[in-house]
Structure formats: C-alpha cells, structure tokens
C-alpha cells in the first residue's frame, strides 16, 4: 500500500510555509486557503481551519542513512526524547529505527528507516531523502471494528500485530496507524482525537471508507 496524499488542517499557514519550506527545504505550493507540500512521491496538504488539532505522520528515509538523517535534522530543530535518548529502535519484526520532532503547530513528525526495504540512495542525507509519507495516524473510538471495516472494504490487512488501542493497517510502504481516541501519541502528552482528515492510498482494492472525524480514506 502507498499513501499518495494526506490532507490535514492548519491554524497558521505561515507556520507551515516556514517549517516545511524554509526550515526543511521541501517544495511547497500556496493558495489562499491551503498549502501543498511535496514529500517525495507523496503530497501533504494543509487546509486552513481554526479547529486544527495535532496529528502524527511518518516519512520514509533510505536504508543506511538513519544516523545521517538524525544529524541533518538536529541542525534544524529539536528532537523529541525520553530518558533513553532520541533514537527509537523497534522490534525485530518491524526492523526499523525512528526519530521524532514537532512542527510549529504541534504535529508529531517521524523519520523512519525500515531496513527490510531495499531503498538505498548514494551520498549524504538531504531533503531529497524524504522518500514518501509512510504512516498517518488516525484516531477512532473502536480500533478493532475500524480495522475490520478497512479489511472488508479496502482489503487492508493488519501489519504484523494489532490490539484494541494501537493497530497498524497496510504494509511497510504505507500504514494507517489506528489509535484509540484519547490515547497519547508516543513520547508526547498529545491525546489523539478523531478529527477531519483525508487520505488517498493506492495498492489496495478501490473504494472509500468514512471514519469518525470524519477521516476519509479513499483508495484509487
């Protein structure tokens, strides 16, 4: 599964331009009510709304460049950390490492290296190594029922494991991270809540599912 487009909300589009365009160096396109950010082969759309609330999403980086990515990002912003530091290595099943930071509106961003994916690139790390959005967090009241709905309607399977509070659906290339509303996002005090967002995916059965928020998942 691939995530083609993610549309979320922003209270301050100037902050979006600064963080994603000026600070990170990603390509942006501005309209009066929205900003599009190109993240490799994916597009992140910020739509103006006074009711914007933080979300979580992850960006895939090339295998073998994790340490370089960390040093690159530390030159631009502060990483989220805990008593164990700011690098998080996940289980053998995921075979991944991640770093996290906040954008200027409190969204929780992640760079992740999945070492099972042969996506190496040469040279030093740069913004060109933001390959694509590979995760988007979606808060719902009933995680297991939502996972079953996505399986039935879009033929999306659980990725490795899932429970009634945290349930990734899709593949390493693209995951919908189902998280129970009210559960704090990892490393933060940000309680996730169901909210409006739109996600366009490919590589699954075509169709559309509308979840709480509404969160609209459209497969093309």
Please report which confidence band the pLDDT of residue 92 belongs to, taking 50, 70 and 90 as the band edges: confident
* In contact, 76 and 66? CB cutoff 8 Å: no
pLDDT at residue number 173: 96
Level-2 CATH architecture, domain 2-219? Roll (3.10)
C-alpha dist (Å) from residue 73 to 8, 52, 93, 208 = 23, 25, 26, 36
C-alpha angle 1-153-212 in degrees, rounded to nearest 5:
90
What pLDDT digit, counting tens, does each position of 119-166 carry? 999 999 999 999 999 999 999 999 999 999 999 999 999 999 999 999
- Report which of 167, 168, 72 is spatially closest to residue 124, judged by C-alpha positions: 72
């Amino acid at each position: 599964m691939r995530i083609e487009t993610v549309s979320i909300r922003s209270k301050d589009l100037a902050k979006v331009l600064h963080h994603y365009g000026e600070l990170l160096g990603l390509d942006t396109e501005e309209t009066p009510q929205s900003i599009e950010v190109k993240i490799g082969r994916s597009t992140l759309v910020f739509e103006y709304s006074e009711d914007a609330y933080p979300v979580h999403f992850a960006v895939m980086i090339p295998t073998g460049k994790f340490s370089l990515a960390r040093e690159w990002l530390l030159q631009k912003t502060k990483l989220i950390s805990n008593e164990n530091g700011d690098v998080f290595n996940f289980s053998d099943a995921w075979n991944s490492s991640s770093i996290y930071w906040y954008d200027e509106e409190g969204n929780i961003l992640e760079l992740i290296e999945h070492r099972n994916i042969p996506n190496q690139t040469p040279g030093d790390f740069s913004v060109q190594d933001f390959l694509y959005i590979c995760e988007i967090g979606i808060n719902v009241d009933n995680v297991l029922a939502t996972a079953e709905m996505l399986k039935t309607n879009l033929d999306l399977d659980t990725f490795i494991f899932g429970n009634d509070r945290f349930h990734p659906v899709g593949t390493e290339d693209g995951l919908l991270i189902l998280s129970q509303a009210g559960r704090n996002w990892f490393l933060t005090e940000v309680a996730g809540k169901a909210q409006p967002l739109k996600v366009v995916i490919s590589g699954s059965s075509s169709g559309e599912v509308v979840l709480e928020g509404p969160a609209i998942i459209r497969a093309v």
